Amino acid sequence: MIPTQKILWKVGIWIGLLLGIALLGITPREDFTRTFILFTASFALMCLYYQWTSGKKKSIMWWFVAGLILRFSLLFTIPQWSDDYARFLWDGELLLMWQNPYIETPNEWINSNSELVTPFLEEVFEVMNSPDYYSVYPPSNQVIFGVGAFWGSQSLILGIGILRTLLIFGEIGVFILLVNLLRSVQADRKVILLYWFNPLVILELIGNLHFEGLVLVMLLGALWAFARQRYAMSGGFWSMAIGIKILPLMLAPSLIFNEKLRKSIPFWLASGAVLFLAFGTLLIGDSWQNLMKSLQLYQGKFEFNASVYYLFREVGYWIKGYNTIAVLTKILGLLSVGLMIFISWKKKPESLLGMAEVWTMIYLVYLLFQPVIHPWYIIPAFGLSLLTKIRSLFFWSGTVFLSYQAYSNPNFKENPYLLLIEYLILGIALTVDIKKRNLHLSKNNQQEYV
């Protein structure tokens, strides 16, 4: 194929991807048939574009602009696959009123502060899926919610647009850092397309306003600083990631088993200072207790798109005759923490590549043992995995959307056959990674890149 024809084909593929993502952005999650067709087509187009492109340096700017256009195509659409945005704007509005979003549930607040209730608050309250729960979003998120509410000026569409713009800035950071880090590990630059053009990433982070992209940019920043022995900066980035989602705290064993970081006073001082700034406001009133109540509720009550957890749950039904979620989540939680510590001790990551591998493996353990796995949960792990040879998370990014089938049922019942397909493909991909030694517990080759 002559170069001009190849360029035209690639532009055509990208236009098809743009159309698919734009249509997915306005497709209700209840319409699973349409979602399945559009997502599968978009994912296939991304793969086709990846196969047809090269990693030439001059292509990077085109990829960057093309990926931004894909994201901005969703700027002023109402999220269709998640209604979390209502809670974001609710918490943000409360902050603008100097109200603490952790002290009362939305139901309690609206009953005790009727004189402060605005038409906009009533609008988002009607959409909210958690009016009886305290906010589960850390203070760092609340700052972003406040910015969205302030510039949104009590307009739902404008508030959503502001939040999306902030998340797109985070995505720009991910792109820049991934390009830099891929060069550091001597990987093909075009690997970034698997993230930058990925319909799951674009729809969940930008379309549905999830903050995992900000977690990823902070973790990539921590790796970038770690590779350059800027340990205070690395600790600061890691703590900022914790400030957004708390979950990156589980990476601590990998840092402790790195001899240089373990002995680095600047790393731990910076980490502690940033964590205090990020969570210090929770010491006000009952904020910390109420946040923990909601987090514990999510851990011990809900089930969705799980893998290992569902297998053990069936064993629990067989032995006890009822759902053992309360006990099972604690057992699997302890088991996953033990595995995370073991992986960190066994590999003792000392290089950029070694740390990226361990972080990816720790995230994998978490994702496989959790009772609730929403599609956007896998994005930080997927982004980190691109710095390694682990490709199972890429395949998961193409199948995890099957879990949305549950929303097409009035009772949100999951289809076990679709879950089987999702995790069978993931299992095959994990097996290939293990056989190719992309996933391994030895320290071999992790020193290869600095």
Band (300; pLDDT cuts 50, 70, 90): low
The mean per-residue pLDDT over the stretch 32-43 comes to: 97
Q: Could you tell me the sign of the dihedral formed by the alpha carbons of 172, 178, 179, 180, in that order?
A: positive
Cα of 296 vs its chain's centroid, Å: 20
For 384-417, what is each residue's pLDDT tens digit?
999 999 999 999 999 999 999 999 888 889 999 9
Q: Is residue 239, in this structure, part of any structural domain at all?
A: no
What is the C-alpha separation between 398 and 195, in angstroms, rounded?
11
**Residue 180 in domain:** no
Q: 304 pairs with which residues across the strands?
A: 372
CB contact set of 351 (below 8 Å; sequence gap of 6+): 227, 446, 447, 448, 449, 450
Q: Is residue 68 part of a domain?
A: no
List the one residue out of 411, 426, 326, 324 whose CA is nearest residue 373: 426
Neighbours of 382 (CB within 10 A): 27
What is the share, in percent, of the chain residues with pLDDT greater than 90? 77
Residue 447 pLDDT class (50, 70, 90 cuts): very low
Range of weakest confidence among 130-134, 140-144, 369-373: 130-134
Q: Determine, yes or no, domain membership for 247.
A: no
For helices 156-184 and 119-127, give the axis angle rounded to 10 degrees.
60
Please report which confidence band the pLDDT of residue 437 belongs to, taking 50, 70 and 90 as the band edges: confident
Instruction: Find the domain containing 377 and state its range.
Output: 299-449
Q: Which of 102-111, 206-215, 327-336 ranks highest by mean pLDDT?
A: 206-215
DSSP string computed for 339-359: HHHHHHHHH---SHHHHHHHH
The percentage of the chain sitting over the pLDDT mark of 70, rounded to a whole number, equals: 96
Angle CA(307)–CA(439)–CA(448) in degrees, nearest 5? 150
Ranges assigned E (strand) in 126-205 = none
Q: For the chain, how many structural domains are there in total?
A: 1
If you count them, how many residues does the chain have? Answer: 450
What is the arithmetic mean of pLDDT over 336-354? Answer: 95
Position 448 pLDDT exceeds 50 = no
pLDDT tens-place string over residues 52-100: 887 666 789 999 999 999 999 999 999 999 989 999 999 999 999 999 9
Which tens digit of pLDDT belongs to each residue from 189-214?
A: 999 999 999 999 999 999 999 999 99
Domain-located, residue 112: no
In a domain, 241, yes or no: no
CA gap 163, 147 in Å, rounded: 8
Whether residue 440 is predicted with pLDDT greater than 80 in this model: the reply is no
Q: How confident is the model at residue 347 (pLDDT cuts 50, 70, 90)?
A: very high
What are 242-284's pLDDT values in tens digits? Answer: 999 999 999 999 999 999 999 999 999 999 999 999 999 898 8
Within a domain: 341 = yes
pLDDT at 29 over 80: yes
Q: For residues 379 and 391, what is the distance between their CA atoms, to the nearest angstrom?
A: 13
397 domain-assigned:
yes
> What is the rounded CA–CA span in Å between residue 108 and residue 120?
17
Q: Residue 2: pLDDT above 80?
A: no
Mean pLDDT score of the chain, rounded to an integer?
A: 92
385 vs 109: CA distance, rounded Å: 42
pLDDT at 25 over 50: yes
The rounded distance, in Å, linking the Cα atoms of 402 and 415 is 9
